[in-house]
A and B are shown apart, each in its own frame.
Chain A
């Protein structure tokens, strides 16, 4: 077993590729130099900060601080969900529903993994809990963002079809079934794709990391399988929760479609 440690100089040499990138952009007048520079600086600062935060977090080994870190990650994920919406619910509803669904799915799946499969000692050990939560959240976030966007935009687009069912005396659950089903499908497609393509089209980052760190491939595979199952479970729970809750918010007890609860459309 060997772990190949990197010196700062090694990293700096890799950064030369970015200079190549910038030269290309200048030569072809792509106008990307400034954006690229800012993105690169952000990446360096964010990751260095993350390294520092994780070091402190692991040393503290406090369940309270670890949960606080988890919560902050979930709040940021909620912001990302919100940013992907063409037509969010008015007020804080989209943020609230997205964040709530991630809080629920992320917590349930992470605690489930920590207490029954990975079992670090103590079970809430930050070194395991935080990366696990991060991987689950990253995927759940994408699923929820796509699912909510699909539900809210198609409910507005399909208004006459939904209301045609309502006027014929169908319940709001029946009337919304088409757009709800489409939204769930949109939210779950990325995880289904990544399960089908994994190993053939790409080697997942975590598994690559473990192999680079000197772990036997089969051990890394077992870990990757576990993670994929957790991600699939978290995404399903999160997408289901967010889409069903948003569908309820878009309708009311008198079986009406409440598009007035969407924020005004951009650009029309």
Chain B
């Protein structure tokens, strides 16, 4: 589904990956090894070189907003551009249906962003991206700092998405999580990625 050949940018050695539909690949590595830079490069948020294809269509032939709707990147730190939570969701009915699955009441759409806890922000930012229904999700530590119950809920949604044919590249520090969700395991050190045992 997602095919990456020789992707490189400052801080990242040439990186190649074949990610199939329904597959989750976990990426681990020490802080500062370049995991976030790599996800940003795949999402085309920073200048980078190399070829990236989605379903055999080159990224160069797709305009950037459409690319990012298909290959959705979730940053470790969420960003909010308006005061109200609801403004960040295009479709409130869909959002209201999804939020309880993440342990957040649907009323949260009417709240100000300033009232949200860090964990709520993280889950709402995930919901915001999930509602765009990207074919590939690039997730940067989506569950770090969440309590066990919230982690379970988010993993359940990720499993559903995988079963429905989405692909996931998951940056995580939790080895248990990588084992639960991922079928392959990559390890990054100093900008270089290598296969690691599951």
- Mark A residues whose CB is within 8 Å of B: 158-171, 175, 178, 252, 254-257
Q: A161 is contacted by which of B45, B69, B80 (Cβ under 8 Å)?
A: B80
Shortest Cβ-Cβ A-B pairs, 7 listed: A164-B79, A160-B79, A169-B69, A255-B64, A161-B81, A161-B79, A169-B65
24 contacts between A and B (CB under 8 A): A160-B77, A160-B78, A160-B79, A161-B79, A163-B45, A164-B88, A166-B45, A166-B64, A167-B43, A167-B45, A167-B75, A168-B72, A169-B65, A169-B66, A169-B68, A169-B69, A169-B132, A170-B65, A175-B81, A252-B47, A255-B64, A255-B68, A256-B46, A256-B64
Contacts of B63 in A (CB 8 A): 255
CB distance from B71 to the nearest CB of A (A): 10
Contact yes or no, A164 B65, CB < 8 A: no
Is B109 among interface residues, defined by CB-CB distance under 8 A?
no
Annotate B88-124 by CB proximity to A: 1 below 8 A, 0 otherwise: 1000000000000000000000000000000000000
Residues from 33 to 82 in B contacting A, C-beta threshold 8 Å: 43-47, 63-66, 68-69, 72-75, 77-81
Is B167 among interface residues, defined by CB-CB distance under 8 A?
no
- In the docked arrangement, what's the CA distance between A175 and B81, Å? 9
CB distance from A213 to the nearest CB of B (A): 53
Range of interface residues on chain B? 20 to 34
- In the docked arrangement, what's the CA distance between A133 and B86, Å? 48
Contacts of B44 in A (CB 8 A): 254, 256
Is B24 among interface residues, defined by CB-CB distance under 8 A?
no
Contacts of B13 in A (CB 8 A): none
Q: A168 is contacted by which of B47, B64, B68, B77 (Cβ under 8 Å)?
A: B68
CB distance from B61 to the nearest CB of A (A): 12
Contacts of B80 in A (CB 8 A): 161, 164
Contacts of B46 in A (CB 8 A): 256
Is B129 among interface residues, defined by CB-CB distance under 8 A?
yes
- The residue in B72, B79, B88, B129 that gathers the most chain A C-beta atoms within 10 A of its C-beta is B79
- In the docked arrangement, what's the CA distance between A3 and B73, Å? 72
Is B128 among interface residues, defined by CB-CB distance under 8 A?
yes
Q: A163-B75, A254-B64 are in contact. Are A168 and B129 (CB under 8 A)?
A: yes
- In the docked arrangement, what's the CA distance between A170 and B89, Å? 12
Contacts of B27 in A (CB 8 A): none
CB distance from B90 to the nearest CB of A (A): 9
Residue of A with least CB distance to B82: A178
Is B136 among interface residues, defined by CB-CB distance under 8 A?
no
Residue of B with least CB distance to A256: B45
Contacts of A158 in B (CB 8 A): 79, 81
Contact yes or no, A164 B81, CB < 8 A: yes
Contact yes or no, B81 A168, CB < 8 A: no
Contact yes or no, B72 A167, CB < 8 A: yes
Is B125 among interface residues, defined by CB-CB distance under 8 A?
yes
Contacts of B72 in A (CB 8 A): 167-168
Contacts of A255 in B (CB 8 A): 63-65, 68
